[in-house]
Structure 1
Amino acid sequence: MLTEHGRLILSELVAIVAQEEVLRLAYDGLTTEYKVVDNSLRWRPRDLRDHDILEIPAFPADPPTVGPSETSAVRTALDDVTRKADKELLTVLGLAEKREKFFLRAVALVFESADRADETSVHFIIDGRASEQHDLAFARAEGQRKLGIVGSLRESASAVDAVIGDQLVAQRTDETEIIALRRLTEDYKNQLVAVEARTLSATDQQQDDLVDKASTLAVKLDEAEAALAAIPVRVLEVHEHAPLLFDALKGAREKLLIVSPWIRAAVVTPAFMAALETLLKKGVTISIGYGIGDDGGSHGKDRDAEAALKEMALKYANFNFRRLGDTHAKVLILDERYAVVTSFNWLSFKGDPDRPFRDERGTLITLASEIERLYQDYFTRISSSQGSLR
């Protein structure tokens, strides 16, 4: 058993020995910084393809040279790790294993100046927080110009206008009015949720008052939503598209028409196929036109989804399914209720890979004559197409 003096002498004799270890570090290709990234946050290239998520490429594209010269940068990234382990990084020797490419999921927000249409900025949200480092790095790398953001946004809007025609463009309600109505409906929804939550802990008297307030809010919400629905030609925001597709799959009575360049398994799921077949059994006429060039971005599951649609088309005479080969248009038409012409891809939720940034808003039309005109145009094209069912 050591005495206190013995322990003191022993502690003074302890030698510091260098140990060689392999550390898993990430290198941010945009900010050119080393980072520690948890495995649960790492997205592989295959994950991006499966979830139809756009890649922001590294600028520059070449990976860093890993060696002693990187010691300072790596030490900064490892500060928290080494401090907790009571270790100090002496030097980086080199790359121990092959590099693996992975991604962090983020949201890119593109802002356009209200005064100058050609003035835009891109900002990134990562893990729920704004990342000024990535904003600045993207700007320094001239990411907007290299990815063609401004031009792509303009092309998306003009393509929709070309399909619907000048007359409908002129009838499209001013966007500020639409925004005001949307905000009003959201405000009523939030108030209604808050009132309903308060009833859970309210007294009997309070509950009577809250029920009256909830009824009033529900009426106002219905009126605001009805006012929005009554607009014959209006802008449709990105987040409004998917609910319309699901609504069409659930509620079509006579006819449903979809035009979309790409088909992806992430959208054409077994549930999607089941809903489609239910409509076909009810006698609903369904027309789907798809395909643009050689779809090199499709994978095994995507081709399986396409094959499933082909098989269903062979089974039901009221299902027109044709590969058109040049379907730049993206259209959804439900009965006489509405038609949507958009840059949003209905059957893939993904845009043209050659135009990574897009304005995926569309135009919603509820004018009966225009719905019929658009339906006949696309129904005729799909029905008379010589494209294969594959």
Structure 2
Amino acid sequence: MSRQYQILHRRFGESRPGLELVAIEEAAVPVTMLRADVLAQERKDLPVTEAFTLQFVERGVDTTSDIAAYLGLEEAHVVEASASLIRDGHLRRHSTGQLGLTALGLEVVRTLAATQPVERPLPVAFDRLTWSLADYQESALIEKRQAEERGMLVLPADRNARIGLDDVTAAEFNALLKADRLQVLRIHKVAVRKHRYLHALLLVFANASRDEIELALCLDDDLSNAHGIALDRVGAVERLGLSVGKPSDRPVLDADLEDMRAEERTVVEGAAQLSVENDTPKGQPAGDLFATGTGGRAPVRSVSVFEHPVLLDEALRNAKRRLLIVAPWVKNAVVTTDFIARLEQRLRARVEVTIAHGYGDDDRGSDEDALRRLENLAGRYERFTFIRLRNTHAKILIFDDVWVSTSFNWLSFRGDLDRTYRMEEGTLVSIPSRVQKQYEHYLGVLGRVS
């Protein structure tokens, strides 16, 4: 997911003038699967004999015997085809025995297909945020329980009402079907089959004074205007309790590291320049915005609020030798089933893992389930050290030769009940000797904890 976040940041990070992209959240769009009983016109190819019979009649060959002679068939076959066409309303038989085209038959000749009214049930998805039919595959939808386990932000529905005939139209169906063989004429009934959720990415923008928040939704790697309008219409910021709080002060590093520190904007511009120099193809990401001091990147650089969860994801996916996390609180919304699975993958890859947490005399700031998950995992792997500290103000991430010192709460950034985002800033150091020194320092501190 980190690569996708990087691409979205590059594409849309500056799409809202005066606002900064402060977070990208995995979100769940409420969807209801419906069964709609519809009356439709179905176009189907005609059997060969019926098609030729219509064409001959249209050209003035209007007796079954003459048509059979032209086709080289026994007349009985043409009589059978004519009877079927008369029954479907495409032909009529005059009192003289000659065949003639009906208006419907003339239209069928032009398209060489038959149109018949049919009644059939159609499965269809209904997006309860935009309150409209949607072209979602049922196999791509998940249950609410799964969304919550993955720490997704469950988005609100447009309204709390039963979906009825007034909410769906034949025109919407036909736009979704995008087929010329079935055209919905009328909807008789809609019935709810199941409630599900669609995975999406929610982009959270805020201004510097923290008094303005805007939301955007990304589906299929692009922003959905319909969902953006719907989020604003339903007051999603207020309903989800989203806010932007005052950030803590950035931890200051040793003077020599501070002198080397490059600001984020400088890093981004440098990556863009590197892309130009290397003739990066259009549409391809311009270098790895979150890379770590290699390929000409600054070895000490700022880390924006947006980058923190991406760096944590990178560590959980790709750490090869070591992973250390220090954070005051541990929340369910971060330590999800997926988080535990990735952490266990690192352990199976023989990565040394250390997680330290704690603030105050008890764990009231953390979630019991999240702590228990980590304790259980630590009990199964000797190379996983899980420690509670008496008080830790430090927020540290170290993986391999990367060290991030920050005011960002690594294990609880999604866990505030009021969903408060903070424009936290940190520093990434990718000088191996300094990272090693810091790693040994924290191991020493943790080793003295009883």
TM-score band by shorter chain is: 0.5 to 0.7
Match of 1:331 in 2: 396
Closer, same or farther in 2 for the Cα pair 1:41/1:49, shift >3 Å? same
Q: Output the amino acid matched with 1:35.
A: A
Match of 2:205 in 1: 111
SS of alignment partner, residue 245 of structure 2: helix
1:34-53 map, 5 Å: 34-49=133-148, 51-53=150-152
Match of 2:386 in 1: 321
Q: Within 2, Cα distance between the matches of 1:172 and 1:110?
A: 30
What is the deviation of 1:184?
A: 0.6
TM-score normalised by length of structure 1: 0.62
For residues 273-313 of structure 1, what are the alpha-carbon distances to aligned partners after superposition, in whole Å with 9 as ceiling and x for unaligned? 124x4538xxxxx45337754446x6xxx97665232233x
Q: Is the 8 A contact 1:124 1:134 kept in 2?
A: yes
Q: Please say if 1:310 is aligned against 2:379.
A: yes
1:201-212 map, 5 Å: none
Q: Is the 8 A contact 1:235 1:362 kept in 2?
A: yes
Q: Within 2, Cα distance between the matches of 1:176 and 1:279?
A: 30
Closer, same or farther in 2 for the Cα pair 1:172/1:84, shift >3 Å? farther
SS of alignment partner, residue 406 of structure 2: strand
Q: Output the amino acid matched with 1:43.
A: I
Match of 2:184 in 1: 88
The runs of 5 or more residues in structure 2 that have no matched partner are 1-48, 63-81, 86-90, 94-100, 105-113, 282-292
What is the deviation of 1:78?
A: 0.6
RMSD between aligned residues? 4.8
Closer, same or farther in 2 for the Cα pair 1:134/1:265, shift >3 Å? closer
Q: Please say if 1:75 is aligned against 2:148.
A: no
Q: Is the 8 A contact 1:330 1:341 kept in 2?
A: yes
Match of 2:163 in 1: 65
SS of alignment partner, residue 123 of structure 2: coil
Structure showing the higher helix proportion among its residues: 1
For residues 79-108 of structure 1, what are the alpha-carbon distances to aligned partners after superposition, in whole Å with 9 as ceiling and x for unaligned? 14285333433233241x5332222x3222
Q: Please say if 1:379 is aligned against 2:446.
A: yes
Q: Output the amino acid matched with 1:101.
A: R
Q: Please say if 1:266 is aligned against 2:338.
A: yes
What is the deviation of 1:261?
A: 0.8
TM-score normalised by length of structure 2: 0.55
Q: Is the 8 A contact 2:326 2:357 kept in 1?
A: yes
Q: Within 2, Cα distance between the matches of 1:179 and 1:86?
A: 54
Which residue of 224, 231, 234 maps to 1:138? Answer: 231
Q: Output the amino acid matched with 1:92.
A: H
Q: Please say if 1:288 is aligned against 2:356.
A: yes
Q: Within 2, Cα distance between the matches of 1:278 and 1:371?
A: 18
What is the deviation of 1:135?
A: 1.3
Which residue of 257, 268, 273 maps to 1:182? Answer: 268
Match of 2:320 in 1: 250
Q: Output the amino acid matched with 2:446.
A: F
Q: Is the 8 A contact 2:200 2:217 kept in 1?
A: yes
Closer, same or farther in 2 for the Cα pair 1:176/1:55, shift >3 Å? farther
Q: Output the amino acid matched with 1:310.
A: G
Aligned length: 320
Q: Output the amino acid matched with 2:300.
A: A
Match of 2:12 in 1: none
Q: Output the amino acid matched with 1:9.
A: R
For residues 39-87 of structure 1, what are the alpha-carbon distances to aligned partners after superposition, in whole Å with 9 as ceiling and x for unaligned? 3443333443454432222132x243324x34xx331321142853334
Q: Is the 8 A contact 2:173 2:184 kept in 1?
A: no
Q: Is the 8 A contact 2:375 2:386 kept in 1?
A: no
